[in-house]
Chain A
């Protein structure tokens, strides 16, 4: 019998796993993407080196920016460190601090982080950053309700809005996966993830295409450690969203049922593996579709909204 880890350690491990694995997942995605394009691509661990390098660099702030500009990356990072406490990252059972907030709370904290970064971008005074921030918030007007509706779906299926409960329900029978509400909510969440992490068809993740940048434009003016924090933070956001999608909706298997060391380690490995797989899917999508023109992104967001709303309807009104 492997030793049982104390619960607080497990909780801490959740945060640490997300923080440490996040850049790796980004690395996997860029590598796979490059491979699909026929290039060799950067090494998988490249993002770590990038972040380390950035930490050594000098930080500059634009003239006229205020303390917000410098505080925002730190605050956002804090939010991103908080959310893994609330969602089922490693375990099937709820951890003590996990009751601080439900999935709705998790969603709010993520939005808060995004909002802070946007405010910092506005504060910088640079036109590209401001453009990106305004675009992000405009489309966010449609994508945020989608997240809400997805949460409603969770609530209606399980009677609670704790993500742990939904994961347990999904694991219970095969029928749960097939039901349309579940599939619709998962699809809607996936579309929101594509939007939030700045992937095709919403924007090109690599490169700086000023006419199309939304997510990528916001950290335009930051530099040095702050930029490192922002990059790290957005990688963490990506992994958090992946985790929610995987461990709550799509594939809630491989989570540790007991706090024993072996099962926790297995859980970590499972999470990284699943996230990598999802990253491969995202890379394939990246290479298969073209970026949507900016005004057509509303159609994309409306599509996600449609899926989420239909999920709630079929559930609430039809028992589907």
Chain B
């Protein structure tokens, strides 16, 4: 366990000093190794809680989140090799590339450390560290948009974490009534005395925690930084942000949920989560239509999925809770894939605007279809993992009687799928406009002349404009960028079709931790 903690940190330090080639290799190795180590931890965590050194603690719940983070770390590390090497004069200035590598490692380290903390205070500190590092990473690109996004992110996330700190203080206050003035906010301690904690304080704590950590998780109405930050950050960072950081913030909320549920009974915490979850789902669903920037689109999809997570927990049935955990894993893989695929598209065509990206399937023999698959997975299409998880969530919801919420969930997810898929299929399937004649001035070119493309008949306004730039050549920008996406897709399939038994054990134990079955 200690190695998991130390490895990315060491990698980060190396990256600061070493030449770029070494940095890339080190990061990739560190990513792969961390993932492997987490896999090793799983069977152990499925049996019992592991305590270490009084400040570290891994139980089944933490293992799930660490798994998600570990996988993304490995994937992103490999992906970044391709992304950053092919960045010829791209947005990231070269002097910052080294910092980007180091930052990636630090970021992953912090996100791996957070689930391993044993008390609420350290948890807060770890998440604060992730905020700092991710803010710096978001700002690494040298554009106005990046600066604006980073500022908004820091302001909102820090304010939210201030609220979360307030929640931690009140949690301490609640515990002090029973445990005396000085104790550390260890989970096991708090859970043990949970039934004796004063109700009002715990209620306040939970609401503040949901608001505060929900800011980092992307719950409406404090999600406004999310689209900006996720779209302006460099792609590997966006993938980590969407796939892992949101999940880690959710983990923090889950810890508070554990305490609140034990102290207050299930009704109040679940209602709170339900409210926020439904709000997030509905709002993001609406925003998915009419997005013009591909990464922003994916960011809103993240908000949607976080809403689904919150609703899933609010159902409370064991099936729903297991679905939530599976969803965390599957979403990490799918969102990571989606961002990575989007990154390839953007790299290939040089723009993030949906209206300007065309012909993905033609140009990218590997990444195009994989991106499509990832987006379908996000829309909960079988046989991918997300379908399975959402199915479980809905089943749990119907089983525990929350018919209205389950219905909303289904409708919203379907609508969101249309929104997402609509834009993405346009990007991938519509053929590229032909370039104008070399000596001509601006002659509008008719939309695509692919004889076998029936969609080309409609006058697509955007591709009616000229493209005086040469059509990009067909082919992948880099093999490095494809491999992790393939791995991710395979993982999604595996999760969807037949999750391994070890995972099932893990989930079962985590579900009992979350009080599954109590209603």
Is any CB of A less than 8 Å from a CB of B in the complex?
no
Q: Which residues of A are at the interface with B, using a C-beta cutoff of 8 A?
A: none
